Amino acid sequence: MTIEELEQIAKSACQENDKYDFEVNVCMDLACMSQGADRLRDALLKAAEASGKSVLVRRTGCMGPCSSGPLVRVDPEETLYHHVKADNAEAIVNSLGGDPVPELQCDLNEHFDKQVRVVLENAGYIDPEKIDDYISRDGYKALLTALTEMTPNGVIHRITESGLRGRGGGGYPTGLKWGTVAKASGDLKYIVCNGDEGDPGAFMDRSVMEGDPHRVIEGMAIAAYAVGASKGFIYVRAEYPVAVSRLTTALRDARRRGLLGNGICNTPFNFDVEIRLGAGAFVCGEETALIASIEGRRGTPKPRPPYPAVSGLFGKPTLINNVETYANIAPIVRNGGKWFANMGSERSKGTKVFALTGKIANTGLVEVPMGIKLREIIEVIGGGVPDGHTFKAVQTGGPSGGCIPAEMLDVGVSYDALVRLGSIMGSGGMIVMDDTSCMVNVARFFVEFCMTESCGKCVPCRAGTAQMFTLLTRFCTGTGTMDDLELLEGLCETIKEASLCGLGMTAPNPVLSTLKYFRNEYIEHIVHKRCPAGVCNMEAPVEVVA
Amino acid sequence: MPVFTPPPLPSDDKRWKIVNGTMRKNGFARHALIETLHTVQSSFGYLDDDAIRFVARSLRVPLSQAYGVVTFYHYFSLKPPGKHTMTICAGTACYIKGADKLAAAAEKHLGISQGQTTKDGGISLMKARCVGACSRAPVVLCDGEVAGEVTAEQMLEHLERWAVE
């Protein structure tokens, strides 16, 4: 495969699509599928055939606003239809070439206007199982350009210049990580993609792997060229069967096209990727635990150093990045580091994909430039809290993150700002809570999660999370005391300081952040044995005198 | 050095050939343990002692290590599943949208707690760690099929339908 051949494929793919007068794109991501998108697609195909019009019905990845699903977009007009049922298929096909169907049209301009799409640029526009669709949108161009026109150091320089930081949560500068692996000695090095999206309430990585799998593979191949690796692994959760099957198809197609394998683009560069299934362990998001899992062992973390960059998978230098990080690589190589660095804030460059869920009008996937205010994400893009309830907090970073209250919503989203607020960026889950959520109960929920997910290797995490859970359960059942609260605070500090890996070190975050901003709720539970949100079932309810 | 010969298949059951296939594809390497266990679970529905012993011996992994891996990861099950499985997602978004109420309703209806199967082996009630359909929370999986924005009534109706089958 050469650049000319690639351009030829792109051209013929475009010509193939141009044969049709209309394109009807159906979102077939999990959320829309759960509302019957597969039946809708069948109905559209049938209606298109019966109408005699020249229509291309395309299956696509997530279009974004999942709460409006199933979604259909008609191109070239870019008319977006929401809540489409199989019964509406005929009306949509009949409207092609005429006026759109008014009752299905949706106005989500405000939702889309504030977004900037880099990682999700293809989502909703390509069929994830067709490599030619990806190639027609500049796919694999970055890889071939890097191989033929850039040195490995040049690639690393460009990534460093872009200011990209790891999208898995830690925010470690990607260029620096690549540089370390490139400098590590040894002929055999590995590339690992962390697709073990364990944060409950986040699904960005799933949508990227399912909606645009080639983008991840291309990013990994570029990384392999830059650091001098020839073998890659994608570690995917077993709970994501569709992602596994899409990636399998994508890898097969990329091999067939000569974009993976030996001597890619007539250069001496060899690279291939294997899929490894996770088996349900949150701790495997930690890089040393993930490596243990790929090696077929229990996912228990190891103390660092040595870092995986020096001694990782099978003892070899290993580069581990998150799905979204790899998904950013191709556009950076294509458009230059400065282009990327122009987006975002001072120390957090580019864009970030968030999974916006919970008590919010427009749930779904959003991609925003770093530095955007939380308020804009929640009130403008998300459409605010529905059903007349009031906003209480937004939870970011999953079980390692914290709850951010209403008075902090004017803070711009960046790695550092969220840490200052007592939360973390995390992989990008953003769960909105309203006045019906009890913050003590929320803290208990996360601590229970960390307790179950603790691998048991180090005592502070194994025993500490269990003790935190006991104390929080006391508060939630109305048997806690002020002494318990003091004990809990001390315990949080100990676990934070003394745990071996990120899971333990961040496990107290949901407790600390709720204590910081919602201390009065804890006091209500302890002193008045009352749950202000009415969630906790107190053993001895105190009668409220009217 | 004597050449290692993998143990014979435990029975004539064709599914063992699939399991063996996964191990052969990986050259009977020890690091294929989790991959192989996945194949066993997808073929047989769960992992029993015979299966774990067979895989451990074939890959030359100590039995304790194989058992350790099986019990470490949530995805692996040591008990056979019921004819039907109702899985309630326990992710954060589902929790915020009231998945705990769904779980309580299902437990009351079936008279079992999450993680158990009804006595007649008809229905298993399971808990999922986030399936990634958070934007349609609360989510349940009826025999693996995702259903979003589920109410307790809808879920119970589904359970009733399975019960009369």
* pLDDT tens for the 546 residues of chain A, in order: 889 999 999 999 999 999 999 999 999 999 999 999 999 999 999 999 999 999 999 999 999 999 998 999 998 888 999 999 999 999 999 999 999 999 999 888 889 999 999 999 999 999 999 999 999 999 999 999 999 999 999 999 999 999 999 998 889 999 999 999 999 998 899 999 999 998 998 999 999 999 999 999 999 999 999 999 999 999 999 999 999 999 999 999 999 999 999 999 999 999 999 999 999 999 999 999 999 999 999 999 999 999 999 999 999 999 999 999 999 999 999 999 999 999 999 999 999 999 999 999 999 999 999 999 999 999 999 999 999 999 999 999 999 999 999 999 999 999 999 999 999 998 899 999 999 999 999 999 999 999 999 999 999 999 999 999 999 999 999 999 999 999 999 999 999 999 999 999 999 999 999 999 999 999 999 999 999 999 998 865 555 444
pTM attached to this predicted model:
0.95
CA distances A305 to A254, A301, B27, Å, are 36, 12, 31
A425 CB within 8 Å of a chain B CB: no
Q: Which residue has the tokens 């039907």?
A: B84
Query: What are the structure tokens assigned to A491, written together?
Result: 């315990």
- C-beta atoms of B92 and A197 within 8 A: no
Average pLDDT over residues B2-13: 88
- Indicate which of B39, B135, B142, B154 best probes the interface with A, i.e. most A CBs within 10 Å of its own CB: B135
Contact state of A277 with B34 under an 8 Å Cβ cutoff: yes
For residue B139, which residues of chain A lie inside 8 Å, CB to CB? 34
* A447: contact with B, CB 8 A cutoff: no
* DSSP one-letter code for A542: P
List all residues 6 or more positions away from A63 whose beta carbon is below 8 Å from its beta carbon. A25, A27, A29, A71, A73, A80, A123, A124
Round to whole Å and give the CA distance between A326 and A322. 7
Residues in chain A: 546
What's the token pair of residue A450? 């960390």
Q: Please provide the average confidence, as pLDDT, over all residues in chain B.
A: 94
CA-based nearest distance B24→chain A, Å: 15
Please write the tens of the pLDDT for every residue from B117-157.
999 999 999 999 899 999 999 999 999 999 999 999 999 99
Which of B61, B93, B146 is closest, CB to CB, to A357?
B93
Q: What is the pLDDT of residue A546?
A: 45
Give the 3-state secondary structure percentages of chain B, helix then strand then coil, rounded to 5.
50, 10, 40
Which whole-number Å values give the CA distances from A494 to A73, A227, A449, in the listed order? Answer: 52, 38, 19
Burial level of A82, CB count in 10 A (0-12/13-18/19+)? middle
Pair type for strands A351-358 and A429-434: parallel
A203 close to B (CB below 8 A)? yes
Q: Of chain A residues 130-159, which have a CB less than 8 A from chain B?
A: none
CB contact under 8 A, A298 and B69: yes
- Could you tell me which of B29, B135, B79 has the C-alpha nearest to residue A207? B135
Q: Which of A30, A66, A201 sits opposite B91 (nearest CB)?
A: A201
What pLDDT shows up at residue B1?
62
Query: Is the Cβ–Cβ distance between B106 and A327 less than 8 Å?
Result: no
H or E segment and range at residue A339: helix A337-341
The residues near A246 (Cβ < 8 Å, ≥ 6 apart) are A128, A129, A209, A210, A213
The predicted pLDDT at position A539 comes to 65
Pairing of strands A391-396, B116-117: unpaired
Residue A260: closest CA among A87, A143, A371: A143
Q: How far is B40 from chain A (nearest CA, A)?
A: 13
Q: Do A358 and B129 touch (CB under 8 A)?
A: no
β-strand A351-358 against A364-369: which pairing, if any? antiparallel
Separation between Cα atoms, residue A327 and residue A73, nearest integer Å = 24
Q: Would you call A358 and B137 a contact, using CB atoms and an 8 Å cutoff?
A: yes
Which residue of B30, B75, B148 is in closest CB contact with A279?
B75
Residue among A277, A281, A445 whose CB faces B95 most closely: A445
Burial class of residue A490, CB neighbours in 10 A (0-12, 13-18, 19+): exposed
Chain A residue closest to B140 (CA)? A34
Nearest to A200 among B69, B97, B130 (CB): B130
Check if B46 contacts A (Cβ < 8 Å): no
Partners of A402 in the β-ladder: A396
- The whole-angstrom separation of Cα A515 and Cα A517 is 6
Residue A405 CB contacts under 8 Å (≥ 6 apart), including other chains:
A392, A393, A517, A518
- Distance, in Å, from the CA atom of A520 to the CA atom of A486, rounded to the nearest integer, reads 14
How many other C-beta atoms can be found within 10 angstroms of the C-beta atom of residue A497?
11
Q: How far apart are CA A182 and CA A163, in angstroms?
A: 18
Give the separation between CA A470 and CA B70, rounded to whole angstroms. Answer: 28
Cα distance between residue A262 and residue A279, in whole Å: 31
What does the alpha-carbon distance between residue A474 and residue A41 come to, in Å, rounded to a whole number? 51
A201 closest CB neighbour out of B31, B35, B93? B93
Q: Are A156 and A226 in contact (CB under 8 A)?
A: yes
> Chain B contacts of A238, Cβ < 8 Å?
38, 75
Strands in A415-474 per DSSP E: 429-434
CB A199 within 8 A of CB A310: no
Residue A540: its pLDDT value, please?
54
| C-alpha span between B73 and A175 (Å, rounded) | 33
Which pair of structure tokens corresponds to residue A439? 């913050």
Pull the structure tokens for residue A509.
């975050």
